[in-house]
Structure 1
Amino acid sequence: MKLFQTEDHYYDHGMRDYAPQIRLLYYVIIGILLAFSKVMWRWKVENPGELEPEGETGSIIISNHTSMAEVVATVTHIVASGRRVRPIMKSEFNKNPIVRWFFARVGGIPVDRGTADMKSLRRAQHALQRGEDVLIYPEGTRIRTDDQPVEVHGGFALIASMAKADIVPIAVCGFRDITPQGHHLMRPMKTWIRCGERLRLASAPEGLKRKERIQWFEDEAIRRMYEVRDQLRDEHPGRR
């Protein structure tokens, strides 16, 4: 791939095909963020083996969302383990040309929430079929307080079904405390990331129609994500 391309080229092509200069810049950034986040937030991924796919197809990884810091930790862990990951991002990020330029080159795929954005679904499907992982935050935005209304955005199970990919639910704890409400500076804090059990579409109960199977797939993945989150919170009282 040539060095100077439009954002659509990055959305539609595999990360291994990016220009060498872009890939070098990407890995330099990942290395810096990995070292910084490890020192600042002392995170460790528990049960990391769940992130390893059994075949050539990538996995959809879903997580609860409390801070941008957990995005940094999750992405750098996946890349450091030798995989490529495409975070799904809100299309609102594309309004800023600098942010749009950056996210396109680190693998981000924009999606219009609340719409049948088939172009984005296909891009995610093709990424999975190329062996890249897709990272999705179904809550759609950072959940900063326990009483904040949460609207879970679906669609990820449909992508998994289209690509014949598994879903790996993960959960984070402690990242919300890095920047408490009313503060802007990040604090060094111990944080946790845990992977739940990998979920396969074949695990759905027998007798369900296709639409029902996809809905079960999505509901079960969300249930497992929150189950792992609640386990972490119980193990680390007072941390969010």
Structure 2
Amino acid sequence: MRVDLYKVGQTVCRSYLSTLYKVEVIGKENIPSDKGVLLCCNHIHLLDPPLLGSYLERPIHYMAKAELFKIPVLNYLIKKFHAFPVRRGMSDKQALREGIKVLKDNNVLGIFPEGTRSKTGELGKGLAGVGFFALKTDALVVPSAIIGPYKPFGTVKVVYGKPLDFKALREEKVSSETATNYIMDAIGDLIKEHKNS
């Protein structure tokens, strides 16, 4: 019998997160079961990737820095968790092609548009690559927000927002930067809406 390491890892992460924090999940119904989804989220903690994916039925594909794939055991594991390499600090055409393929194959691509964790907890500027993915495919673009802080036994919220309407932006052929700003504004709105609710 084949073991699905992603499902096993998801169960382990969910158990760990739910034990250490009071996890509040909002808007899971906004993730369709059968369409390509570009899931865009703010980034405040190392635990953001497992938190974003542990409470969804569908697996999330992530970009991970290329250096991690040079570590033998870790290379095997992160590939099983649907990660693919990206060379940070430069234009990585192979990573862009892989991300587009993930979306066109009707999978979920999870991205943290800021490119790195926020040191202040405040939402930073998004990178243009996120807008590129949104414009080059017909995937649903779903803004999401993680609202901490990650304090033991405290509340951590993960919010999946309603899909954004990208039809007009795609027809107008706006720049990747404009598309990214639209996504970041939506993430910011989710944070404001749910931070004190």
TM-score normalized by the length of structure 1: 0.73
- Residue 129 of structure 1, CA deviation: 1.6
The corresponding residue for 1:188 is 153
Contact persistence 1:126–1:163 (CA under 8 A): no
The corresponding residue for 1:47 is 27
The corresponding residue for 1:110 is 85
The corresponding residue for 2:131 is 157
Residue-by-residue CA offset, 1:7-49 (whole Å, 9 max, x unaligned): xxxxxxxxxxxxx73x523222211211221222121221222
Contact persistence 2:36–2:108 (CA under 8 A): yes
What amino acid does structure 2 have at the position aligned with 1:194?
Answer: V
The corresponding residue for 2:143 is 169
What amino acid does structure 1 have at the position aligned with 2:134?
Answer: A
What amino acid does structure 2 have at the position aligned with 1:217?
Answer: A
- Structure with bigger strand share is 2
Instruction: Give structure 1 stretches of 5+ with no counterpart.
Output: 1-19, 179-186, 236-240
Q: 1:205 to 1:156 in 2, by over 3 A?
A: closer
Instruction: Give structure 2 stretches of 5+ with no counterpart.
Output: none
What amino acid does structure 2 have at the position aligned with 1:228?
Answer: L
What amino acid does structure 2 have at the position aligned with 1:200?
Answer: D
The number of residues matched between the two structures is: 197
Identity of counterpart residues, as a percentage? 19
Tell me how far apart the structure 2 counterparts of residues 57 and 146 of structure 1 sit (CA, whole Å): 31
Residue-by-residue CA offset, 1:130-180 (whole Å, 9 max, x unaligned): 221000011122223257x94532212212332221210100111x433xx
The corresponding residue for 1:63 is 41
TM-score normalized by the length of structure 2: 0.87
- The partner residue of 1:85 within 60, 66, 70 is 60
Secondary structure (helix, strand or coil) at the match of 1:144 reads coil
Q: 1:224 to 1:150 in 2, by over 3 A?
A: closer
The corresponding residue for 1:6 is none
- Residue 74 of structure 1, CA deviation: 1.2
Secondary structure (helix, strand or coil) at the match of 2:55 reads helix
- Structure with bigger helix share is 1
- Deviates most, 69-78 or 196-205: 196-205
Tell me how far apart the structure 2 counterparts of residues 84 and 137 of structure 1 sit (CA, whole Å): 16
Tell me how far apart the structure 2 counterparts of residues 191 and 140 of structure 1 sit (CA, whole Å): 21
- Residue 95 of structure 1, CA deviation: 4.1
